[in-house]
Structures are given as C-alpha cells and as structure tokens.
Structure 1
C-alpha cells in the first residue's frame, strides 16, 4: 500500500527509512505545540483550545502534504506569523483575536487563488532577493525581543525604553540555562534539541516549585472556544487591509522558500524537470484556511523538515508519520499546560538566531539593496511590528532605485506592494 501511495522504490527509500525520518522531523518541530499556545493565549484565546487547534492544524496540513504533494515536509502554525498575530494585530493595533483569525482566513483564500492562478510565481520573482532575506532576518529579530521580554531578561525602562532585567531571578536564570541546553545539543547534532531544552527547563521549574506540574496524559480538551470563532466581516475593516497584505506576503515568502529549500535538499526539485511544488503550495494554502477555522494563526511548511530529509526522508510517508505524531500529541494537553513561559522563551530565542543567518544573503556592497534590507530588519523589532518592517523596506527600496536612476530594474510586483503600503499609511490610521 505504501509503495503504491508514495512510490518508495522510485525515490530510493524504504518504509523504515521514511518512519525514522518522520520521527526525526517531528522531534525537531514539536516545540510548536508548547510555544504556539503560549504566544496566542496572550490575546485572550483559550490556551487548551489553541493547543488542540495547533495539533490538528499541523496534522491536517502535513497529511495534505503527504497525500497531495508526496513530499517529506511537516507543517504547523508558523513562528513569526503567530507573533505578528498576537503582538501586532491584537496587542498593538487593538483588533480582536476573532478579527485576526478572519484576516488569516482571508489571507489563506488569497494565497490559494495566487497559487492556482500562477500569480504567486510572478510575485515571488518580482521581490528583490535582499528584501526576502531581510524579511526572514527581521522576523528573527522580532522573535528575539519577544523571547527576551518573556524570559525577563529585557524589561521596560522609562529612560532608555528597554533595559536589562534582574538576572538573579529564577525565570531569567532558567531561560538562560534552557538556551545553552538547546544550543549545545543542537551543535552536537542531537535530535529534538529544542524540545529537550523546553522539557529540561520545565522539569527544573517543577522541582524548584516555581511552576505546577499538572500531569502528562489526558483526553484532548475542547476546541470549541476557538472553533469557527473567526470574524471574517470584522476582518474586512479598513485597518486590517494591510494586516491581510502582510499575512499574504510572509506566507508566500516563507512557504515558497522553505518548500524549495527542503525539496532541493531531498533532490525533489531539479532544473528543467516537473516538480510537485504547485501541489505542495496548494497543501500549504489549504492548511492556512483550515487552521483559521480551528482557531490558530497561519499554518506553513517547517524548515525543520530538513532534519528528516537528512535522515533519508524522500516521500509523503515521512509526512504521514509526522501527522500521526501530531494527532498523538493531542493526549498530552496537561503537559503542555504545565510548560511555563520562560521554558519556551529559549526556544524562541534560538529560532530567532537561526533566522538571522539570512543577513549573509543581503548584497551589502550595493547601498540601494543594503539600506532597504537593513530598514526592513531593524523596523520589525523596534516598532514591534512585522508590517512596519515590510512597509519601510518596500517603500525605501523603490525610492532609492528611482532616485539613483535605476527605476528600470524595478519589478511591477515590488512597485505594487510599495504603493499599497504608502496608501495604507496615508489613508488608514492604526
């Protein structure tokens, strides 16, 4: 059956190899079942319902990836997009989480249409490489400041805006310990390093009495507090137009970049030969829509899937194994509820550092490329908004190219996105 469904022999793999690859990928990305509820619950959403929605959205998205695209890629609510959802759309802009879910739903529909019509390829081709790299790095910086704040390492300071917290406190000390555990284990190529770091800090917090142990296994909690609670009409509010634009742009860049990168490593995308990228993107956009209905932020392909590819995963059977494990994770909700914020903060900080590697891809020798890229990356943490970072980057890129006489190299997609952000600042107040 597996041979018929996934064409294992054609891809030079076996059931055993695919299962090992699936387990490897799940271990490297399973931290999301602890981190995502921690982030989204700050909006007032029910934490247990978010946990269930996270597991189900990840399982469904990955299952679609397995059966439709036959690619060894795991999916789950994306880091960065969940932070944008919670800390920008809801906390900073003041929209309800129901409206934010509506914006995710609409962005998923748009992404689906862009994929089906082929506009996505045109859009991706038109966005400058430096800006794409800066977006990833900027989201990393944004996650970094959130992580440091959650850990109590960075605190509010009236004189300097931010300052250093009390590192003698238990929370910051445990977070620092967790970061070193993750970094050392990952450097030693230990599978599931991020998950081990989260669990190590959690156990220490139980032992020291800082947090409460609520058990490990139980029946899954109800998803009803978030299920079908999205406010689509409210999401069409004028102030959310640019939010939807940001969701679409980040989803398109993140999904396409991750899928191509992991697929190339698995030798599934070859020059001049047909690939299943279109099907994979279809799975991605469908999962975004489904996730918003369940009650979670945008679902996307995970770069951690590269660990499973490294272990030999080449087909959708790897993804099927990942999906099964996410379903099994539904039964550990007490454990997820026992994980304190300063246990997930080190994971956020470590992922942030990995994302900042994209800075090396920026053309620093060309100021018309480097300056907009730097503005993009810097504006995200310092204005506490991914949207503002994108706006600063696209607008400055067009301005610098035009006034240095290089307007002829501007792709229409870049000009359109920049114009949309100018319109947003001019006519839609936050």
Structure 2
C-alpha cells in the first residue's frame, strides 16, 4: 500500500491519510443534503419531481465511485461530488427556464462531460492550465480560500444578507446557540492546530456536532439546525434514477440553443475544476518547480468522467470539491485519503438519515480555518507589478463576491490579457491564454452560471 500510494515518499503515513479522508468527508457530507434539496425542488416540464431518497442515493453513489477513482488513478487527495453551481444551473435553467425534462437536462451534462474528456485527451485542457501565469495561479488558490471562508461564515450564521441596507452584514442573531457552536468550534480548532494536535479539524467538527445535538435535545425549539438525531439510522438505497437520461435537448430547444447551453456549463466546469485542483495541489505540496501539477492530466481525466457519471446517475456533474483542502490541512497527501472518503460516501447510501446530523455550524469553522491557510499563497505574488497585481486582486475578490470560482478565474485572465496588450507587452501573453480570455469575454457577455 505504501509503495502504490507513495505515502512515505510524500512524507505522510497511513493513519494520517485515513484521518485526512475522514475529515474531507465530514466537510463534504453536506452535499448529501444540499444536492437533493436543489434537484428535488421543482417539477420538470412533464410534471415529474425527483424523489429525495433516490437523489441522496445517487449523490452518494457517484461521489463515492469517482472519489475512489481519483485516488486510485491519479493518487491525489481530491474528492469529487455534485458541483453546486452546475446543479443549480440544471435545476433552474435547464429544467426551470428551458423546460427540459430531468432526463434531458442530465443528458446535457453527459454531453458536456464527453466534450470535456476529449479536450483533456488531446491535451488542450492541460495546456491551458500551464499557460496561466504563476501569479494568477496563486491568486486562484487565495481566492478559493476567501470563497470557502465566506461559505463557512454564512453557514455558521456569522455573516448574513440583510433585506435592506448593506449587501452583507454581521448577523443580528449573533448571540444565538447556533453561532455559539460555530465560535466554540472555531476557537477549539484554532487552539488545537496551533498546538499541532493531530486530527484538530475532525475533533472540532465532532465535538461541535455533539454540542449541537445536546443543545437541541434540551431546548424547546431547534436552535442548531441540522444537529438532530434521526428517527431511523439505516435505509435501503434506491437506484431508480441511475441511467435515466435522454439526449433530446437538440429537438426540444433547437441545435443553436442546445449548443449554447452545453458550452456554458462546459466553461464553468472547465475552470472551476482546474482552479480547485491547482489550489489543492499547492496546499498538498504536489506542485513542481514550474508551478504545475504533474498529475494534472490524470486528475482532469477523472474529473471529466465525473461529469459524465454525474449526468448518467442523475446526480448532476461531479467535480473536485474545494473542501478537499480540509483533509490536506489535516495531512492528506495521497490517493489513499480519497479512497477513505469515497468508501464513506458509499456507506452513507445505507445511512442516509444520518447525512444531516453534522450541522453547518460544525463544518463552517473548518472551512474558515482552511481558508486562512490557503490565503497564504498570495505572499508569492509580485504586488509591485501592476500587470499581475491587479488581475490577481480581481481573481481574489471576484470568487467570494460573486460566489463562483469560475468568475474569479475569468476576471483575472481577461484583465491580465487586457493590461498586457495595453502596455505593449503582448509577448507575455501565451496564445492559449488569449484564446481563453476571449472565451471568458463571451462567457460573461451571455450570462454566467
């Protein structure tokens, strides 16, 4: 096992990898609740609403299989699950606005995944990644850190979107039990990590969950959402949605409109995964001297297959999850951590009622701490060079402010290209960089996901 996963070579140990895999699963388990709630939120054109139990099953199934595949094939600690941006696009654009049935919408995801896989196999996707300047790569990592920190703060009830006044604000319910659980977990994790206690993130998540369950048990209402013991522990998985796809989208909306929908979701998937993979690779010390991830080709192959599998399983496109950095922060460096995470996802099919026992107030602090670790990457950016400083800054702020990794990547690449052309330094623009920047202009012009 050590030789296959190169555990010792990467300065890790089997126990550390197992712990990292468990932590990654703990921070990703919310997808077992969120994905079914999004995809099951509205009926399609035929009046069909996807069954919640079936959605939990396929969400766990595809995430488990693809996460294990990433670990075995690419040997990196990068877990996959249904991407939140794309699943919302499937539900509210393909089905809600365009009137597709659920099988037709999932067919769009399968087609997009096949196109993305072809781009990887011919080397185009990896070549585009290598064309990105190192400063932008570091900004991508830092921006993702800010993004997941914001997610953690919102989940913990610290930051909210008020009905009037400022765009975001400190929650008016800052003294609630839910916020108290968040703060206690955050302080505990910070202290444990500063003392280099193994399993700091997992300890914080577990203890916060226990505290939340206790508070809910003795309180009149439910002050800590999600921290509730289920009525039953186990349930048989229902695979009824697997393979329920259709490729009639071209007949339903026309060839041009169908092509536009496919390209739009392709653009979002394309750069979300690349940016996330690079950020995780940098945190795991897997980046080489050229600022590249040696396993990138294999990573992108599996991620592309994840889109195909997600569509075929009716779980929506599966992509690399930024929450994998939680496991990396715990010490995960190899694909063994992925195998552990994947097995836990597969087991969760049989324990679907337990999927919601970990409250957001418990996982939120872990995301904030990991975000703090990731922002350190921006120290390597040349802030005295406005040609890279401004694009890097745009990348950093656009991710959390627009709630999209792809938007941040696109803003940075477009601004970098424009500034380089404006000061006559066109030689620093890689041809692929120019092409991608142009595609992002189109992407922003037609409306993003």
Which consecutive residues of structure 2, in runs of 5 or more, have no partner in the other structure?
A: 41-50, 217-221
Q: 1:182 to 1:223 in 2, by over 3 A?
A: farther
Cα displacement string for residues 53-86 of structure 1 (whole angstroms, at most 9, x for unaligned residues): 44433432243345545x36453328xxx34336
Cα displacement string for residues 348-368 of structure 1 (whole angstroms, at most 9, x for unaligned residues): 333333332332232212111
Cα distance in 1 between the residues matched to 2:400 and 2:86: 15
Partner of 2:165: 159
Partner of 1:395: 414
Partner of 1:24: 19
Cα displacement string for residues 305-335 of structure 1 (whole angstroms, at most 9, x for unaligned residues): 6578x68x77x66655554444334333222
What secondary structure, in the 3-state scheme, does the structure 2 residue paired with 1:195 have?
A: helix
**1:296 shift after superposition:** 4.6
**1:225 shift after superposition:** 5.6
Where in structure 2 are the equivalents of 1:91-106 lying within 5 Å?
A: 105-106=110-111
Partner of 2:207: 200
Cα displacement string for residues 346-390 of structure 1 (whole angstroms, at most 9, x for unaligned residues): 333333333323322322121110101111221222233434333
Q: 1:160 to 1:106 in 2, by over 3 A?
A: same
What secondary structure, in the 3-state scheme, does the structure 2 residue paired with 1:30 have?
A: helix
Contact 1:372 1:396 in 2 (8 A): yes
Q: Mean alpha-carbon deviation: is it higher for 247-256 or for 323-332?
A: 323-332
Where in structure 2 are the equivalents of 1:238-253 lying within 5 Å?
A: 238=260, 241-253=263-275
Contact 2:60 2:345 in 1 (8 A): yes
Higher helix share: 1
Partner of 1:366: 385
Asked if 1:117 corresponds to 2:134, the answer is no
Cα displacement string for residues 83-113 of structure 1 (whole angstroms, at most 9, x for unaligned residues): 4336777679976895886665445333322
Partner of 2:57: 52
Cα distance in 2 between the residues matched to 1:196 and 1:395: 42
**1:174 shift after superposition:** 1.6
Asked if 1:291 corresponds to 2:310, the answer is yes
Partner of 1:43: 38
Contact 1:28 1:193 in 2 (8 A): no
Q: 1:284 to 1:423 in 2, by over 3 A?
A: closer
Cα distance in 2 between the residues matched to 1:168 and 1:59: 38
Q: Mean alpha-carbon deviation: is it higher for 27-36 or for 316-325?
A: 316-325
Partner of 1:345: 364
TM-score (norm 2): 0.75
What secondary structure, in the 3-state scheme, does the structure 2 residue paired with 1:299 have?
A: strand
Which consecutive residues of structure 1, in runs of 5 or more, have no partner in the other structure?
A: none
Contact 1:242 1:387 in 2 (8 A): no
Contact 1:59 1:324 in 2 (8 A): yes
Where in structure 2 are the equivalents of 1:105-254 lying within 5 Å?
A: 105-157=110-162, 158-165=164-171, 166-209=173-216, 210=222, 211-214=227-230, 217-224=233-240, 228=244, 233=249, 236=258, 238=260, 241-254=263-276
Partner of 2:437: 418
**1:192 shift after superposition:** 4.0
Cα distance in 1 between the residues matched to 2:344 and 2:135: 37
**1:404 shift after superposition:** 1.0
Q: Mean alpha-carbon deviation: is it higher for 158-167 or for 382-391?
A: 382-391
Partner of 1:76: 80
Contact 1:255 1:284 in 2 (8 A): no
**1:415 shift after superposition:** 1.0
Contact 1:18 1:317 in 2 (8 A): no
Q: 1:345 to 1:148 in 2, by over 3 A?
A: same
Cα distance in 2 between the residues matched to 1:409 and 1:196: 47
The alignment yields a C-alpha RMSD, in angstroms, of: 4.0
What secondary structure, in the 3-state scheme, does the structure 1 residue paired with 2:169 have?
A: strand
Contact 1:104 1:292 in 2 (8 A): yes
Count of matched residue pairs: 410
Contact 1:215 1:335 in 2 (8 A): no
